[in-house]
Amino acid sequence: MTVRKTMPLLGCVLLWVAAAPLQAQVVSLNYERLSSLEDPLAAELGDVTYVLNGLADLPLFLDLDGDADRIESITNFQFEASTQLSNRWLAALTYFGQYVSDSAAETASEEDYTDNLALSVGSYWGTVLLGNVSGIVREQTRRLRGAGNASLAFDDTLGRLGDDGGGYLVRFGPWLFSSLIDDDDSFDLGVTYQRPTGTRDYRLAARYTDSTYTAEDGSRTFDSTAFSGVAEVIFGSSRWDIGAGYEHLSGEGLKLERWYTSAGGRLKAGVLSISLEGHYGQIEGEDEVSAAFGIQYDLARGLSANLGLNHTDGTASREGTSIVRARDNKAVLSMRYSF
Amino acid sequence: MAAEEAFQQPFLFDRAAFLKRFPASEAKTLGVEWGRQVGRQVLKMRTNDGSEPSEVNYYLGRYERREDSLRWRPTGPFYGAKPGPAFASFDRCLYPGHGRIKPWTMTSGSQFRVEGFYDPASPEFAEEFDTIRRLGSANSSTRTTDESEIAIFWEDGPWGITPPGHFLYIAMQLLQDRGLSFMELAHAFALIGMTQCDASINAWDNKFHYDIVRPESAIRVRAPAFRNPDPRVALEPGWLSYIPTPEFPAYTSGHSTFGAAAAEMIALIYGRDDIAFSGRSPDEVLWPQLRGVTRHWTSLTQVAEENGISRIYGGVHWSIDNTQGLRAGRALARHAFESTLPKKA
In a domain, B21, yes or no: no
In a domain, B3, yes or no: no
The answer to whether A44 contacts B60, with C-beta atoms less than 8 Å apart, is yes
The pLDDT value recorded for residue B341 is: 84
Q: List residues bridging with A298 in a β-sheet.
A: A304
- In this predicted model, what pLDDT tens digit does every residue of B314-333 receive, in sequence order? 999 999 999 999 999 999 99
The pLDDT value recorded for residue A13 is: 31
In a domain, B142, yes or no: yes
B320 is in which domain, residue-wise?
Answer: 48-339
List of chain B residues whose C-beta atoms are within 8 Å of the C-beta of residue A51: 56, 58
- For A28, the closest chain B residue by CA position comes to B221
B8 confidence band (pLDDT: 50, 70, 90): confident
More confident site: B9 or A139:
A139
Query: Which pTM was predicted?
Result: 0.86
In a domain, B20, yes or no: no
Establish whether this prediction's ipTM goes over 0.90: no
Nearest CA to B9 out of A217, A106, A172, A306 is that of A172
The pLDDT value recorded for residue B77 is: 87
Q: Is the pLDDT of residue A20 over 60?
A: no
In a domain, B54, yes or no: yes
Region class of A252: left (phi > 0), else alpha (psi between -120 and 50), else beta:
left
Please, which residues have CB within 8 angstroms of residue A135's CB and are 6 or more apart in sequence?
A: none
Q: Is the pLDDT of residue B258 over 90?
A: yes
Q: Is the pLDDT of residue A168 over 80?
A: yes
Q: Which of A299-303, B138-142, B206-210, B228-232 has the lowest mean pLDDT?
A: A299-303
The pLDDT value recorded for residue A63 is: 83
To the nearest whole number, what is the mean pLDDT of chain B? 93
Asked if residues B285 and A194 have their Cβ atoms less than 8 Å apart, the reply is no
Instruction: Please give the share of chain A, as a percent, with pLDDT higher than 70.
Output: 86
> What's the angle, vertex CA A14, arms to CA A8 and CA A19, rounded to 5?
130
Sign of the CA dihedral with B137 first, then B141, B142, and B145 last: positive
C-alpha of A205 from chain center: 17
The pLDDT value recorded for residue A111 is: 66
- In this predicted model, what pLDDT tens digit does every residue of A37-78 receive, in sequence order? 566 788 888 889 999 988 999 888 888 887 778 888 889 999
What average pLDDT does this structure show over A244-249? Answer: 97
List of chain A residues whose C-beta atoms are within 8 Å of the C-beta of residue B220: 28
- In this predicted model, what pLDDT tens digit does every residue of B18-34 receive, in sequence order? 889 999 999 999 988 98
- In this predicted model, what pLDDT tens digit does every residue of A276-293 receive, in sequence order? 999 999 999 999 999 999
More confident site: A33 or A40:
A40
In a domain, B16, yes or no: no
The pLDDT value recorded for residue B80 is: 92
The most confident of the ranges A26-30, A170-174, A252-256, B99-103 is: B99-103
The pLDDT value recorded for residue A9 is: 33
Please, which residues have CB within 8 angstroms of residue B144's CB and are 6 or more apart in sequence?
A: none
Domain count along chain B: 1
Q: Is the pLDDT of residue B133 over 50?
A: yes
Q: Which of A261-270, B48-57, B227-236 has the lowest mean pLDDT?
A: B48-57
The pLDDT value recorded for residue A39 is: 67
- For B13, the closest chain A residue by CA position comes to A172
The pLDDT value recorded for residue A37 is: 59
- In this predicted model, what pLDDT tens digit does every residue of B259-295 receive, in sequence order? 999 999 999 999 999 999 999 988 788 888 898 999 9
List of chain B residues whose C-beta atoms are within 8 Å of the C-beta of residue A170: 9-10
The answer to whether B56 contacts A170, with C-beta atoms less than 8 Å apart, is no
Q: How far is B285 from chain A (nearest CA, A)?
A: 4
The pLDDT value recorded for residue A173 is: 87
B14, B53, B285: residue with CB nearest A49:
B53
In a domain, B8, yes or no: no
CATH classification of the domain holding B60: 1.10.606.20
The pLDDT value recorded for residue B291 is: 87
What average pLDDT does this structure show over A235-246? Answer: 92
Nearest CA to B339 out of B100, B103, B99, B167 is that of B103
The answer to whether A42 contacts B86, with C-beta atoms less than 8 Å apart, is no
The pLDDT value recorded for residue A109 is: 52
| HSE-CB of A180 using CA atoms within 13 angstroms | 29
Q: Which of A314-318, B102-106, B296-300 has the lowest mean pLDDT?
A: A314-318
List of chain B residues whose C-beta atoms are within 8 Å of the C-beta of residue A199: 284-285, 288, 291
A51, A172, A270: residue with CB nearest B58:
A51
Q: Is the pLDDT of residue A29 over 70?
A: no
More confident site: B312 or A65:
B312
In a domain, B138, yes or no: yes
Q: Is the pLDDT of residue A23 over 70?
A: no
What average pLDDT does this structure show over A183-196? Answer: 94
